[in-house]
C-alpha cells in the first residue's frame, strides 16, 4: 500500500467550515520523508504563509491536506521582526509529526489572537508562556525546539490545528476588527 501526502486545495488558505480543519490530521509516514511530495507540500505551505501579510505560522490542514505538519516563519524563529532587513530571506521551518512535550505552568491571556483560517476574527486565548515541541524535519530526523511568548503561542495554536481545534473553540472576547 502506498501512502500519499495529499493534494493541497491550492496555495490558498482554507477557511472555517471546510471539514479538513476539524479532522485529526494523519501522521507523516516514514516512507514519505525525503520525498518529492513532502517537499512540494512544504513549499506550498510556505508560499501560502508568505502570501498572507500577517501570517507567522500555518498547518497543512489550512491548505486542505490532513497531515501533521506545521510551518513557522523563519524571521520569528530568528527573533527578527517582519520588517527587519533580511527577515524575508530567513527560511521557514517545518515541524513534522510535532508534539508538545513541555509547557510552562505559567500562562498568559493573549488578546487579539487570530487565525488565517478564521479571517477577520480575533479573541483572547490563554496560552503557556513557554512551550517545547518535539518534531521531525523533512528527512525524518527528530529535533526539539523551545519557544517563549509569541513562539510558544504559535506552537500551541498550530498543534491545535492538527487536532481539529480552532482558537475560537476556546477563545473569549471574540470580535472582528474593522478593515483598516
- Burial readout 124-153 (b: 16 or more C-beta within 10 A, e: otherwise): bbebbbbbbbebbebebeeeebebeeebbb
Name the catalytic one among 32, 113, 158, 160. 158
pLDDT in the model for residue 19: 97
User: In this structure, are residues 159 and 25 in contact, taking their beta carbons and an 8 Å threshold?
Assistant: no
Q: Which residues contact 64 (CB under 8 A, 6 or more apart)?
A: 6, 7, 8, 9, 10, 14, 18, 20
Domains of the chain, with CATH numbers? 19-176 (3.90.45.10)
The reply to whether 158 belongs to the active site is yes
pLDDT in the model for residue 12: 83
pLDDT in the model for residue 3: 40
User: In this structure, are residues 139 and 33 in contact, taking their beta carbons and an 8 Å threshold?
Assistant: yes
Along the chain (180 residues), what's the average pLDDT of each consecutive run of 10 residues? 47 90 98 96 95 94 97 96 93 98 97 95 97 98 97 98 98 78
pLDDT in the model for residue 106: 97
- CA atoms of 67 and 35, how far apart (whole Å): 14
Question: How many other β-carbons are positioned within 10 Å of the β-carbon of residue 172?
Answer: 10
- Helices marked H in the chain — which ranges? 36-50, 74-77, 150-162
The residue written with cell numbers 467550515 in the block is 17
User: In this structure, are residues 7 and 41 in contact, taking their beta carbons and an 8 Å threshold?
Assistant: no
Amino acid at each position: 500500500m502506498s501512502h500519499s501526502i495529499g493534494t493541497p486545495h491550492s496555495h490558498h488558505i482554507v477557511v472555517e467550515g471546510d471539514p479538513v480543519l476539524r479532522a485529526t490530521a494523519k501522521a507523516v509516514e516514514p516512507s514519505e520523508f525525503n520525498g518529492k511530495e513532502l517537499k512540494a507540500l512544504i513549499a506550498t505551505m510556505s508560499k501560502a504563509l508568505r502570501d498572507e501579510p500577517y501570517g507567522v505560522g500555518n498547518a497543512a490542514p489550512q491548505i486542505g491536506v490532513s497531515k501533521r505538519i506545521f510551518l513557522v516563519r523563519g524571521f520569528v524563529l530568528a527573533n527578527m521582526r517582519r520588517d527587519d532587513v533580511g527577515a524575508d530571506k530567513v527560511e521557514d521551518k517545518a515541524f513534522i509529526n510535532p508534539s508538545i512535550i513541555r509547557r510552562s505552568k505559567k500562562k498568559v491571556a493573549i488578546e487579539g489572537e487570530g487565525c488565517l483560517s478564521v479571517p477577520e476574527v480575533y479573541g483572547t486565548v490563554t496560552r503557556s508562556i513557554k512551550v517545547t515541541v518535539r518534531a521531525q524535519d523533512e528527512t525524518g530526523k527528530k529535533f526539539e525546539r523551545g519557544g517563549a511568548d509569541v513562539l510558544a503561542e504559535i506552537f500551541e495554536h498550530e498543534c491545535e490545528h492538527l487536532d481539529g481545534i480552532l482558537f475560537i473553540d476556546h477563545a473569549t472576547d471574540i470580535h472582528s476588527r474593522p478593515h483598516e
